[in-house]
Amino acid sequence: MKKVSLLLAVVMFVACTSVFMTSCKQDGKERKKRETTETERESPPSLADTTSDYASEAKKFQYMNTETVTFGSYHGEDIEWIVLEKGSEGTLLLSKYVLDYQTYDDPDDPCKSWMTSRLDPWLNEEFFNEAFSEEEQAKILWKEIPITDYDKAYSDYDDELYREPALDRVFLLSLDELAVYYPAKLDTCYCEATTYAVSLGAPRENCDWWLRGPCEITRFDNGDVETGKPAASAECKPQEGDAFLYFSDLPCGIRPAVWVDLDGTVENTIAPSDWIAEVSCETAVTADGMYSYKLYSGSDYETTIVMDVNVDDYLLSDRFELGRLLNDNGWQFCDSNGNPVEYTKNADVSGAWRRANGIETHFGFAFVSGYQLCGFSLDFKKPGDGYYELEDYYRNDPDIAGNYEHYTPLVCFEDHNTEYIVENFGYDGAGELRDSLSYNDIVLITYAISFASKDENAGKNPFYYTDIEGGESLWYSMVYDLP
């Protein structure tokens, strides 16, 4: 059983008013910085721009001993790929040229990580559908993509959400991965841009290109704080941990990478199944008085959840009484500041917790941009004072840290038709309810809460013990099996 983390979350950070491009080296080495002028930003390089002597020399020997293949097309140009690796797990390809020219994240919504960048979903949706036919898409493999920027980009933001690998079909190389293939498979970091990328402002020659990580928080002399996004250039030295950092809204080249099964011989591939939140749900009462909920999606998926809670008891007109469900199961409540609050009909509740057998289980709802509702999560903490300042129960124990059985589950729902407003949880700043669920969503939430409310299940992941399958909407929930 492996973990899946396709998370879509938004992390707000302070936008810097100054714009810099910094050549950065790890391990405390000296940094080289230059200011980028407004003229450079507003006037993209022309095709007549010259490159440095180094870049010109690099151009002479680029990819002389590298195998390439043609696969897919983008804006009227066939995509040529460099073969970085071949084996039983597929063939790893990197585009030979910069194919597009974009910012790492939205200028008005700067982020800290690949996990919250705009490029991750763009590559796996818009680019994927534009560049590949249905036959070609079937050859592209799902892969767990490690998040390599946590320690630097999240040194002051301790959240498990940003540690876990993404499940992607199209991605960018990280600096560490680039170092693995440079210079044996990728004999230069110099790269040219396609005609389409040039039309977007990319320089034809010596075009810098985005890397997946590591991002890095930088504090400037004037007091500004920003997260730099890494990029490769002709001058960078991957094996020394050397790359450029781009700040603010500077665009850069995009060189996608994909794992493909070109000859149909790859086994044990990962593929998310259909989204469970959209399936039908049948309710029945078992012979011993338990409530049975059958979730299914045509002939592709079917599972049955049995619990001693009748979901209908907590549905009132268009309201789902989530707070009452938790209260009936012995949970305590807190407000948005982590302060204890009493549960009442109109209480503004942010989270809930329950202690059993030396483990404190936290339940939370949080809005995520782009989703109808959000995600709900169960986090396992060591009991103590306060709600937000507790140590993760499994984090530092080498014997159980990362154990799938105990790992924190986060379940997220995408846009879909909704029926019920969530009571108590999910007020916005104006005091208006904004979050809503389908009946099937409520079945999953009720199951998770009822499971976690039993003392014998303290600290256990409710979805580890089921064969529930998900995809883009059940994150951290052990949603696929590998032999």
Q: Is the domain of 364 the same as that of 220? A: no
pLDDT tens column, 438-461: 888 899 899 999 999 999 999 988
Task: Report whether pLDDT(351) > 70.
Answer: yes
In three-state secondary structure terms, 439 is helix
Interatomic CA distance for residues 280 and 275, integer angstroms: 11
Task: Report whether pLDDT(419) > 80.
Answer: yes
Q: Is residue 270 in some structural domain? A: no
Task: Report whether pLDDT(204) > 90.
Answer: yes
**Tally of residues, the chain:** 483
Q: Is the domain of 171 the same as that of 311? A: no
- Backbone dihedral region of 223: left (phi > 0), alpha (psi from -120 to 50 degrees) or beta? left
pLDDT at 160: 46
Looking at residue 161, the DSSP 8-state letter turns out to be G
pLDDT at 148: 63
Radius of gyration of the chain (CA): 25
Residue 350's closest CA among 407, 9, 340?
A: 340
Answer for the pair 59, 190: CB distance below 8 angstroms, yes or no.
yes
Q: Is the domain of 304 the same as that of 209? A: no
Q: Is residue 27 in some structural domain? A: yes
In three-state secondary structure terms, 184 is coil
Total domains, the chain: 2
**59 CB neighbour count, 10 Å cutoff:** 16
Q: Is the domain of 245 the same as that of 286? A: no
Task: Report whether pLDDT(190) > 60.
Answer: yes
Q: Is the domain of 453 the same as that of 363? A: yes
Range of the domain at 106: 20-260
Bridge partners (DSSP) of residue 91 are: 86, 260
Task: Report whether pLDDT(56) > 80.
Answer: no
pTM of the entire predicted model: 0.59
Q: Is the domain of 24 the same as that of 67? A: yes
Q: Is residue 11 in some structural domain? A: no
Q: Is the domain of 78 the same as that of 176? A: yes
Q: Is the domain of 293 the same as that of 238? A: no
Task: Show which of 203, 231, 260 is a domain's final residue.
Answer: 260
Beta pairing, strands 216-219 & 225-232: antiparallel
**357 CB neighbour count, 10 Å cutoff:** 9
Q: Is the domain of 256 the same as that of 290? A: no
> How does DSSP assign 74-101, residue by residue?
ETTEEEEEEEEEEETTEEEEEESSB-EE
pLDDT tens column, 91-140: 999 999 999 999 988 766 566 667 678 888 899 889 999 999 999 999 99
Interatomic CA distance for residues 10 and 120, integer angstroms: 13
Task: Show which of 260, 288, 305 is a domain's final residue.
Answer: 260
Q: Is residue 1 in some structural domain? A: no
Q: Is residue 153 in some structural domain? A: yes
Q: Is the domain of 142 the same as that of 280? A: no
pLDDT tens column, 309-326: 999 999 998 889 999 999
Q: Is residue 163 in some structural domain? A: yes
Q: Is the domain of 255 the same as that of 373? A: no
Q: Is residue 269 in some structural domain? A: no
Q: Output the average pLDDT for the chain.
A: 75
Q: Is the domain of 221 the same as that of 349? A: no
Q: Is residue 210 in some structural domain? A: yes
